[in-house]
A and B are shown apart, each in its own frame.
Chain A
Amino acid sequence: MSALSDQLVTFAILAYLVAMISHAVEFALGNVRARVRVAAARPVRELVGAGVGAPGDTVAAPTDPAPPVTVATGRSAGRARLAGRIAVVATAVAALLHLAALVTRGVAADRMPWGNMYEFVLTVTFIGVAAWLVVLAKRPSLRKLGLFLTLVMVLLVATAELVLYVPVVPLVPALNSYWFVIHVSTIVFSSGIFLLGVVPAVSFLMRRGYEAGKRSFPYTLAKRLPSAAALERLTFVLHAFAFPIFTFAVIAGAIWAEAAWGRPWGWDPKETWAFISWVVYAGYLHARATPSVKRNVATWIAVLGFFTMLMNLFGVNIFFTGLHSYAGLS
């Protein structure tokens, strides 16, 4: 069972890779199409100019490019759409493999698969991709963000398999409590959503620069992205959704710590970084709700929050020793 789980993880990584490449193809074809459209823009504008007298034309013209252009772009646009669909299907397949890997791992260990850092990262990334699929189902227009998402998935899951892997072992007594399920599941869930939240956050920052007329390197990537307002909205929705869950998870952790270690809060490195993340995300939500703070400043705070989460997921386990030393790294 455990070996099956390991193989499933490998296949999941491959599927994420396929998804990433398909997204990249979609992106590239989208750029081609955009260039063609820019080239075709001039005659269209003339059409508009000619049709000023007729109100119907002015509305129709910008959305309806001239026939030759449609033929030229149609093929690559169709290909881009196809690549995008393949990418989404590959992501879904990868997510299923990912889930199967977690389930088999849990069955092999006869417990929830959150006992060490390898399993933890696998679960967090799964939550991230599952939440992404939900977002995608609700707002298909955000599909192009998948490139960034699958890139993050490939990196994180591959890191988990190559660096963090440990064989299946039962839980140490300290983890043997029903709080394990409550605390860890909510932490995993909220971490997954927070980690997903950085995708629209970074996209928003790039797209906002693009919409403001910046055409230098990182901003040009945002040419085909959804509108800045939509990205910003999604960033907020994800963070506002994850924040109370994270708060609950930290409180549950404090209740558990009271039972296990005798104090609800002891500034263990993990606790300290959870506190830092909480404060940073609280800062984001406050900044977002304050009209005088610009939206890009608020979003930068969310990106900062992402780095504190990464620090907590990886850095704390690697650099510090503390009571949360269950990573299995040595």
Chain B
Amino acid sequence: MIEVRGLSKSFDQVEVLQDINATFKKGRVNQIIGKSGSGKSVLAKCIVGLIRPTQGEVVYDGESFQAMDKERKKLLRQEIGMLFQSSALFDSLTVLENVLFPLRMFATQSEHEMRERADFCLKRVNIVGQDAKYPAELSGGMQKRVGIARAIAMQPKYLFVDEPNSGLDPQTSIVIDNLIREITEEFDTTTIVITHDMNSLMGIADEVFFIHNKRLWWQGSRDELARSDNQELQDFIFAGSLMRQVRKALRGE
């Protein structure tokens, strides 16, 4: 479980996030949604410690990240897996080397055991026979899947996913979404997904956190979304005509 307590962030006197309080539950897909530029990626970066919040703290299973010393932070980060919007695979390493990378840096297993683990992770995301290829030789969807394989290589307790469907076709997006869902259940991770893809939201979200006007404007389960009277949330979720049809169907109109 990850708790965010009173988190605020400003850049050069410009406030981006204001007093965010949220609890991201274990074994659940927690989705942070909001317009482009609303600060959801900044929130994610504050949670993983890439950006230092101006105020507030992030608590990982009862332990404040801000209060940890450097070594403890390093150890905690070995329990974090992250899939970046751009996949962020190391382009001078092959697919297999990318997945082996965190294992070679931190694992105490033999090379054979590490190789077995990497093979397992690649098979888990349905990447077979691509070991020797470089990231640039893969499609966007395959890069995302390799990114997921790398993120789960160290058996993380916390999984962060930034815009998993950006640049992907609808079918591939569903594959990636389902993979995130399955991995969350299988490895019992605290999963936080940053997205503005409504299909993904409706498909895999357990808990939804809507960032608007620098604040956590609304939070609740996916089922509560359609029933919510929050105007800003409704305007955001059901902006498209297709989603308006979905709302009608959900409300039985």
Same complex origin of A and B: no
Interface residues of A (CB under 8 A from B): none
Chain B residues packing against A (C-beta within 8 Å):
none
